[in-house]
Amino acid sequence: MAKRTSPVSATATDDASAVACRPDHTDPGHYTAHAIDRAFKANLARLTNGISPAGVAGITFNWLAHLAVSPGKQIELAEKYNRKFARLWQYSLHNAINPDSAPCIDPLPTDKRFAGAAWQKWPWNVMSQSFLLTQQWWHNATTDVDGLSDEDEKVMSFILRQILDHAAPSNFIATNPEILAATLEQGGMNLVRGLEHLAEDAQLMLAGKKPAGAENFKVGRDVAVTPGKVVYRNHLIELIQYAPTTPKVYAEPVLIVPAWIMKYYILDLSAHNSLVKYLVDQGHTVFMVSWRNPTSDDRDLGMEDYRTLGVMAALDAVSAIVPNRKIHAVGYCLGGTLMSIAAAAMARDGDDRLASLTSFATQIDFTEAGELMYFVRESEVSYLESMMWDQGFLDGYQMAGAFQILRSNDLIWSRLAQEYLLGERQEMNDLMAWNADLTRMPYKMHSEYLRGLFLDNNLAAGRHMVDGTPVNLADIRLPVFAVGTVKDHVAPWRSVYKITFHPATDVTFVLTSGGHNAGIVSEPGHPHRSFQISTKKAGDRYVDPDNWQQTTPHHEGSWWPEWQKWLATGSNGQVAPPAIGNSARGYAVLEDAPGSYVHQQ
């Protein structure tokens, strides 16, 4: 008879086996294998524009597997296909008799590909209707699949939408009536110009230069021209203090921290749409952080370095130049997230130098961060980390590619059709030229940002560490002014709206027309601008974003005057303008604005 093993000895044996089977991270072979994997993924990532093939394959297989064991869903899709085919056939027959017959499907309000008059005529209308019905069918195929998570459904639907957008009839000469008409009318010269544009763009890209037309917006000559001085510089930032234009200024200075994913002069474009100039002309003393464009040598700069060398160093400088005054802190996008972290840490530590906190298109809770989350999954983050580990940074072109995919119709396919097939160059403006002035993100910081804030949502959960101790956004007791934009694909406004969760301080929330950039650069006099604004007092009941949007009045024009009025209300009167810099305290004038860091490529 076999000897019986006691439960205790069996458990001990099992545990020993488990330990023995664990990977030995001290084994040199493990590190060699890991290095090979990283190097392989880093090179592959450059070919795939940072999109993980394994991630896409995994989601696709997951969808197909769940669809394969859902016969009811398959039957439903077959019925939908037959109905859509019948509708298209019926529409084709009716349209042949009556060209004004109503379409069987309308595009989404944001889809302008088939809005032209030529698309309303046979056979192009049938072609566009077929495409839209196909697009709708694939959406049905990737949603409401039993057992597939909502997140995977959204990602799979997004992937297939990108594939379909690539194959849209508007992207090809033979299936786009507008391009065909232009080609016949111009004898093909539109295609000749398009080839010239393509060759020029390829040459500029290979040379690492900005796109055609951007040379008309030179930094310091055409944009970023508000007069000021660089009064502080460290390895990560330059601090610009702008010259006053009024005999008196508000007592409290304004410190603006832009995102380092962009050059600071998004807020100081041309004279007519510069937020900096607007504030200075209204009597505010304005300081601006200009971030260094990191290189591979800066690979180990982390989020804490950006807080200490960025926000805190700038606050120290402003406090020395304008002593005994509280500071209106302003952050844009990622800069607003960092400023919120700094404000929470200051509140925790009893540092009361801030008078208020303003955030533009800023997220502090990343649970609903929109379609950008499709690129922030474990597979994608690990893949990007391999590429950043090899380079030491995430390149601006690699970031721009991800943002363009989110709006591929507008930013990729429509532009390619216009410039390369119609041969018409899109006229460059200051905002577009700024958008082409790309920056990089250090390896360590971007990895911490993607994992800690996006994947793990540590800031909203109270787990984000500053000086070895977690910070809590609820510790902030400053008046808050937060701006979201209706068409933001980077920081969706409903995610930005989460700042109104704050229970213990007044939060003024503005929702403005436009997108992540154009909605913020919304100067007075800009046509077709509108906004909604309300203040949630400390202790007020929470209003969900949809109800807030439905019940809050609309106002025509720019939101800038409302913000300036809010800043003025939070100030202690007006005083004589402070001196530029303070050499006695180590903040001597170094050079004229816009400084040196903004020119780094």
Structure-block tokens of residue 127: 């072609």
Helix (H) or strand (E) holding 448: helix 443-448
What CA–CA distance (Å, rounded) separates 479 from 389?
A: 40
**What 3-state class would DSSP assign to 36?**
helix
- Scored b (16 or more CB within 10 A) or e, 500-515 reads bebeebbbbbbbbbbb
Q: How far is CA 206 from the centre of its chain?
A: 25
Instruction: Give Rg (Cα) of the chain.
Output: 28
- Quick one: CA dihedral 221, 224, 228, 233, positive or negative? negative
Closest CA to 506 of 466, 536, 473, 470: 536
Mapped onto helix, strand or coil, the DSSP state of residue 231 is strand
Q: In this structure, are residues 394 and 388 in contact, taking their beta carbons and an 8 Å threshold?
A: yes
Helices (H) then strands (E): counts for the chain: 21, 17
CA atoms within 13 A on the CB side of 422: 17
Half-sphere exposure of 155 (CA within 13 A, CB side): 24
Catalytic residue among 261, 333, 344, 507: 333
Active-site residue, 21 included: no
Structure tokens given for 536 = 């949630």
Which residue in 261, 230, 201 sits closest to 400, CA to CA? 261
Report how far residue 16's alpha carbon sits from residue 522's, in angstroms, rounded to the nearest whole number: 65
Question: How many CB atoms are located within 10 Å of the residue 544 CB?
Answer: 11
- CA 566/CA 341 separation, integer angstroms: 22
Q: Which two tokens stand for residue 332?
A: 């844009």
Q: Is the peptide bond before 323 cis (omega within 30 degrees of 0)?
A: no
Q: Dig out the tokens for 349 from the structure.
A: 């530590």
| Catalytically annotated residues | 333
